[in-house]
Structure 1
């Protein structure tokens, strides 16, 4: 007899996938859950490895984690709402190993492992429309240990395969003649590798600045090159100079867009990542150019296939709590508690929003960078899912951190935050560990 439960396939065992699994498995009378993870461990990008190219299965290394990374948000606002960090008194900006342990504890606490298929590669995901109009999904996957390929059917698919694996490398005239070393931040691991070098870091977002700070302790000179409208108005390290974007390269000579030049030994691309869904059937139209995924409603739901969900699209957000809210919205849709507009209405609403953002001067490639827009987004989907949204103190701490980072990106992690209640917090300076 066919199961009366709703069969859900979750692709990816990082934070987003684990949060979806935790809430779906908490309703065993409703859901049958399978989470597919191609590596041997849960945690996604929070799993550190010295490998930078391919893993033991010959697959591209998934994680972009580097050895010394500390979070760029305080753990007090990073934690998943129903699972607080154990250490309430420790530092706020923690080493990545703390987050990894947190996710291991989360998975154990909510007994997720029976639902997780580790070392399992998803090969193909294809929709099938039944005679009654229902859409089901055929998921083909391979056990990487036995090489056995299996096909199973699901009622909904949630894509949580991450956005920090395939680095975006923009074209630079003359790069093919560069005599030095070039790598993407995806391959970056240790700052000591750049001792005594002249390093150009291309990109000044979170990873660019973080890597700049690390490498500056070992490199001879760093040129922080970016295409921001203005130079960063912040304290700079002594051996760091800001430069506009790279115009062209002549062997080891980098010519920047302001006409200045420098001799460079190492180029590190901190230029973001590409969204990729290589397992999706050609029946599912997904456009991922310009760092923008469409046609997706509420940054979550495919407008043509409303039982196909995309987690992790928004950037410049508070991710873990966001996944918590997004999951409630998804499960509300599956259970019929949340109603979607018609496909036509979704497209119209989406196009109006996109048009408005473009008219505000936000480029297509930056639409997913929510920043100040994130709070209205959380409120919107929380209201639709009929759950409590973020307490005001989360935004207050987030804004405070951003301000400190803008003033001095070399010291903003040397602070401890403590949440007092929904609207109040304390902050104090502490010595970095």
Structure 2
């Protein structure tokens, strides 16, 4: 089904057809009329990082392979806190399903919303196999010049847009800290982005560097796949979780010497592989320097109004959707995408907001985020942010009802990080 374009001069560039980019298209398409939009994605299908591939390093075009999903991956928060208010799991699956879905099931659910619940076929707006090479803002015309590369044809061309939505996510450029002697290590070294199958580490002693969500999950996968032992090295503080005997938190790492790793507590052991679960750097190399977010991704970003509108340059027509970190994931992304679409289509409360008011808003949320470390405080903060976005855009207030479920999930993880996925939650919308 074709969608009705609004008869105005807006033309929207959306970079990335993952959850953030497609959610923005979805919310545009739900409006009676909306601007022309074009979405670019290097992959051959939508879904972004939720697509699994056996490839690591580079794809078939020689482009960096950003897919970080691995076999048998389950979501690490219950699906009930990620349920779309306008498209339930019951509606999609036709039955009650477990709270902790596998990657493919979660992607299938998102695709169901994007297709079955959309007013039109969103794929018509996506140019697959196309990389955005450069985005610049023309001060004279007030428009963005976007250079794109058709990867199949090898051709380049430039297009003009009035607005740009950067929706490439956070998990693109691995952070790999240096350790003394790591270059002499005789085993395998990889980043979590290239982790694909836990069976590769059967009968091995593995050092996982980083004890946040990805480090914990990969440690469990290695042991479930037949690993001998996992050491969790961390930089700052130990996790609050109870671990099985085969997973040992060891704290800071001093150095490597061939097969042996030395820890700051004086202990050491020989290991077979090292997996860096040390996060990602938020880098946007295709953006003109003055249009880039340069600060480290945190709960709230400097110079970004409502968590997505980039204030320093671009005449309030440049948006970064999904650039903030946190625990509420897809829910916050959906709220940010909805606010962005409505703001561009002049359907939010912020029709006339001064720069001083915008900066006061940013300062308020950055101040609130300072010092937040505990998971319960993070989800509370981000539920408050979603409520603020929903109040302005008229969409997403239901998401804030998930706070009690988040807090219960955190308690389950703290009680037993090995078995927390055995719990079942109830949908806020259908009661399943």
Matches for 1:201-216 after TM superposition, within 5 Å: 201-216=208-223
Matches for 1:99-118 after TM superposition, within 5 Å: 99-109=106-116, 110=118, 111-118=121-128
Query: Residue 250 of structure 1 is aligned with which of 240, 254, 257?
Result: 257
| RMSD of equivalent CA atoms | 2.5
Q: Which residue of 2 aligns with 1:128?
A: 138
Q: Offset of 1:5 from its aligned partner?
A: 4.2
Q: Which residue of 2 aligns with 1:317?
A: 327
Q: Which residue of 1 aligns with 2:354?
A: 342
- Structure 1 63/15 Cα, relative in aligned 2: closer, same or farther at 3 Å? same
Q: Which residue of 2 aligns with 1:429?
A: none
Matches for 1:190-205 after TM superposition, within 5 Å: 190-205=197-212
Greater Cα shift, 369-378 or 187-196: 369-378
Q: Offset of 1:107 from its aligned partner?
A: 3.1
Q: Distance in 1 between matches of 2:402 and 2:263?
A: 39
Q: Which residue of 2 aligns with 1:56?
A: 60
Task: State whether residues 166 and 274 of structure 1, in contact with CA within 8 Å, keep that contact through their aligned partners in structure 2.
Answer: yes
1:398 aligned to 2:398? no
Matches for 1:353-372 after TM superposition, within 5 Å: 353-354=365-366, 357-358=369-370, 360=371, 370-372=378-380
Q: Which residue of 1 aligns with 2:275?
A: 268
Task: State whether residues 244 and 256 of structure 1, in contact with CA within 8 Å, keep that contact through their aligned partners in structure 2.
Answer: yes
Q: Structure 2 length as normaliser, TM-score?
A: 0.88
Unaligned runs of 5+ in 1: 427-433
Q: Offset of 1:349 from its aligned partner?
A: 4.4
1:227 aligned to 2:235? yes
Q: Distance in 1 between matches of 2:109 and 2:427?
A: 19
- Structure 1 413/282 Cα, relative in aligned 2: closer, same or farther at 3 Å? same
Greater Cα shift, 50-59 or 388-397: 388-397
1:165-185 deviations in Å (ceiling 9; x for gaps) = 211111212211212211100
1:134-185 deviations in Å (ceiling 9; x for gaps) = x311111111111222211111111111111211111212211212211100
Task: State whether residues 275 and 293 of structure 1, in contact with CA within 8 Å, keep that contact through their aligned partners in structure 2.
Answer: no
- Structure 1 143/95 Cα, relative in aligned 2: closer, same or farther at 3 Å? same
Alignment size in residue pairs: 414
Q: Structure 1 length as normaliser, TM-score?
A: 0.88
- Structure 1 52/391 Cα, relative in aligned 2: closer, same or farther at 3 Å? closer
Q: Which residue of 1 aligns with 2:162?
A: 155
1:326 aligned to 2:313? no
1:96-125 deviations in Å (ceiling 9; x for gaps) = 011222233233322101111110111111
Greater Cα shift, 147-156 or 323-332: 323-332
Q: Which residue of 2 aligns with 1:146?
A: 153
